[in-house]
Structure 1
Amino acid sequence: MEYRTMRFRDGEERLSLLGFGCMRFPLNQDGTICEAEAEAMLRRAIEGGVNYIDTAYPYHDGASEPFVGRVLAQYPRDEFFLATKLPVWKANTSEEAAQIFEEQLGRLKVQYVDYYLLHALDRERWEKVKASGILSWAEKLKKEGKIRHLGFSFHDSYEVFREILTYRQWDFCQIQYNYMDRNVQAGDKGYELAYKMGIPVIVMEPVKGGRLAALSGEAEEILRAADETAAPSSWAMRWVGSHPGVKVILSGMSTMEQVEDNLSTFRAFKALGEEEEKAVEEAAAAIRKCVRNGCTACRYCMPCPFGVDIPGNFALWNNGAMYGEMEKSKKAYEEKKQEKASADFCKKCGKCEAVCPQGLRIREDLECVERELGGGMEG
């Protein structure tokens, strides 16, 4: 197993580059965790050298933390690093945060948490964290030893990421990062800023929710020509792991096959060579060639006066084309129709096009979205 060193002011820790993300365990027919299978997967990962286990308060409708706690209770506490997260949206005061944290300790059957994250920060939640006293409370818990390392996970623009990252000396941060999302959320610039500041990076969505594990067409051919034995997921993992500032790569594994595939990738981990990096860049370019339009989700077009989720509609359209999942996009588009946020609610006022930095023909493109995903365009 490949290990990376996390360095802190008071010492350092050796973490497995592969981390087990506990949000996609196998399920029973009723939607509950299939505990026998999930426990076998978790045990196999630990046996294979994984020592970073990541869960969160809301995962599996609140069932992930108790399940993980029961499994990890069978291991010596100093043999694993446990990460969980404060659901910032549920805590409006430091007192409410404290109640949630004590509940988490009970669920997890531990006296302390190694890596504690403020979950899914965006601008609104960040302002709430500062104003509510939650950040000061978390810093106090760290001094008491109940939290060993304090960080945050992130979902917003680079500008917000930079503001949060430079606000204080964080022990680590967690970002979405993969070879297709280099300009999404924190992206390349966020990674580089954290690396420059010496803040360890933990990566989520390294295979983009599974999309980069199931390539087809030209992208698949390019990677297969470079190495016919390597799975697409291993290319994605190795791309992320080739960044020295990345200390843990989380994988939300759902099957034993995925566990074994990941262990194989990280057992004798190799950073990408120059030619391999070129192959990944070519595969990414092949995927992007299928994009329908150049929407970057900057949201300058929002809010739409008529309630259309313009970037959301374009994301479904683009992802469906790039990753061969049009049927999945059609189902998600039907939900937008029910929310009255689909493309067919566009009244062609043109307000969005006047402010679009990309100069997109938004009104025409929304008509295409409706035709391809909804089957028509209402007058």
Structure 2
Amino acid sequence: MDTFLARGFTYFDTAYTYHGYHAEETMRKALVERHPRGSFQLATKLPLRDFKDSEDIERIFSEQLTNCGVDFFDYYLLHNMGYNVYEKCRKYGAFDFVVKKKAEGRIKVVGMSFHDTPELLDEILAKYGSGLDFVQLQINYIDWEQPNVQARRCLEIANKYNKPVIVMEPCKGGTLINLPKEAEELMKAYNPAASAASWALRFAANQQGVFLVLSGMNSIEQVEDNTSFMGDFVPLNAEENAIIKQVTATINEKTAVQCTACEYCTHGCPKNIPIPQYFALYNSIMRTTGSFSSQMVYYNNIAINHRKASECINCKQFEQACPQHRPITEHLADVVEKFEKNSILPTRK
């Protein structure tokens, strides 16, 4: 965080539910208590799946101010908006709530993070757009034309209503960092020094209406790399855009399950199945020649202290919470086929 600030970047994103509901407190300790309030911009989000009613929204907001150790939020978002929570937000006045808090000076800029269809985005912005200053969208080159995300169409809707856009998932949860060998070679042949992250972040920042790109960084090396090319941003040229199209085609051929490991599907899973971990292992196998190698060992180790994929009861109650709109139970069946049939799993403790 110190390096990020020292290099001229000021925006920090967190949320009520992140890291087992402890992310905001950690942000307070790592950032707020160590730097002047005017030296950074802090964003957090109202958990739309968590609140029970209008009074609960107020309670959570007050708790968030305490968690973060601030008197106001620079940016505040309705978190993970979609069909599964839209009616709940209308019923309990979530849209009116954030507008009220902005009027009180508790929020400087109001927005929403959105994971659903362009049609719903159009409906929401038509009805509530006057109270929203921006929209946060999942935009990356692999999801640009994907029918389950429709990044390009959602961006077009935001531009239609003149809503500035913050980009989330520019690297799609690491999918666009750990590339298939063929895809990585295409990029390295053009620019050996450029990281895979630089291609993904520059693609996102290159789009019309985008004013900010979020990037999850978990090492000082990643901070140094990202700030090096975003501090002096250079738009993609025609040749680079052509390479990205080739890379997209290669990745689509190799990636079986488009999962970003957000873990929304695991919140409240009645069987405590570590779904993203299993999907990551499945993708690792499918990107190779099909050899289990060490992936089977990882699966067996995870299954010792968690439920196996085969223990899914097909309830589908959390598929609606998936930002990628994946058929989770169907993918889990694929995991079972690959990892459990004809294999010996250890006994869970």
Would you say same fold, with TM above 0.5? yes
- Superposition pairs of residues 323-338 of structure 1, within 5 angstroms: 327=295, 335-338=308-311
Q: Aligned residue for 2:3?
A: 44
For the Cα contact (< 8 Å) 2:118–2:157, is it kept in 1? no
Q: Aligned residue for 1:372?
A: 338
For the Cα contact (< 8 Å) 1:222–1:283, is it kept in 2? yes
For the Cα contact (< 8 Å) 1:317–1:373, is it kept in 2? no
Structure 2 residue matching 1:206: 3-state secondary structure:
coil
For the Cα contact (< 8 Å) 2:282–2:335, is it kept in 1? no
Q: Aligned residue for 1:55?
A: 14
Q: Distance in 2 between matches of 1:366 and 1:62?
A: 26
Match of 1:339 among 294, 312, 315: 312
For the Cα contact (< 8 Å) 2:28–2:69, is it kept in 1? yes
Provide Cα deviations, 1:276-307, integer angstroms capped at 9, x if missing partner: 0001111111122235699xxxxxxxxxxxxx
Q: 1:134 to 1:366 in 2, by over 3 A?
A: closer
Provide Cα deviations, 1:217-251, integer angstroms capped at 9, x if missing partner: 21111111111111111111111111131111111
Q: Which has the higher contact order (CA 8 A, sep 6+)?
A: 1
Asked if 1:180 is matched to 2:142, the reply is: yes
Provide Cα deviations, 1:21-69, integer angstroms capped at 9, x if missing partner: xxxxxxxxxxxxxxxxxxxxx1111111111111111122222212212
Asked if 1:67 is matched to 2:31, the reply is: no
- Superposition pairs of residues 60-209 of structure 1, within 5 angstroms: 60-70=19-29, 71-169=31-129, 170-182=132-144, 183=146, 184-209=148-173
Q: Distance in 1 between matches of 2:19 and 2:311?
A: 25
Shift of 1:172: 0.8
Provide Cα deviations, 1:96-151, integer angstroms capped at 9, x if missing partner: 11111111111212111111111111212111010012222222111111111111
- Unpaired stretches in structure 2, ≥5 consecutive residues: 259-275, 316-329, 344-349
- Unpaired stretches in structure 1, ≥5 consecutive residues: 1-41, 295-311, 343-362
- Aligned partner letter, 2:338: E
Shift of 1:322: 6.4
Q: Distance in 1 between matches of 2:207 and 2:286?
A: 25
Shift of 1:321: 6.0
For the Cα contact (< 8 Å) 2:180–2:250, is it kept in 1? no
Structure 2 residue matching 1:151: 3-state secondary structure:
strand
For the Cα contact (< 8 Å) 1:155–1:175, is it kept in 2? yes
For the Cα contact (< 8 Å) 2:309–2:333, is it kept in 1? no
Q: Distance in 1 between matches of 2:257 and 2:196?
A: 25
Shift of 1:367: 8.3
TM-score (norm 2): 0.76
Asked if 1:251 is matched to 2:207, the reply is: no
Q: Distance in 2 between matches of 1:142 and 1:161?
A: 22
Structure 2 residue matching 1:90: 3-state secondary structure:
coil
Structure 2 residue matching 1:192: 3-state secondary structure:
helix
- Superposition pairs of residues 19-38 of structure 1, within 5 angstroms: none
Total equivalences in the alignment: 303
TM-score (norm 1): 0.71
Shift of 1:166: 2.6
- Aligned partner letter, 1:156: D
Q: Aligned residue for 1:265?
A: 229
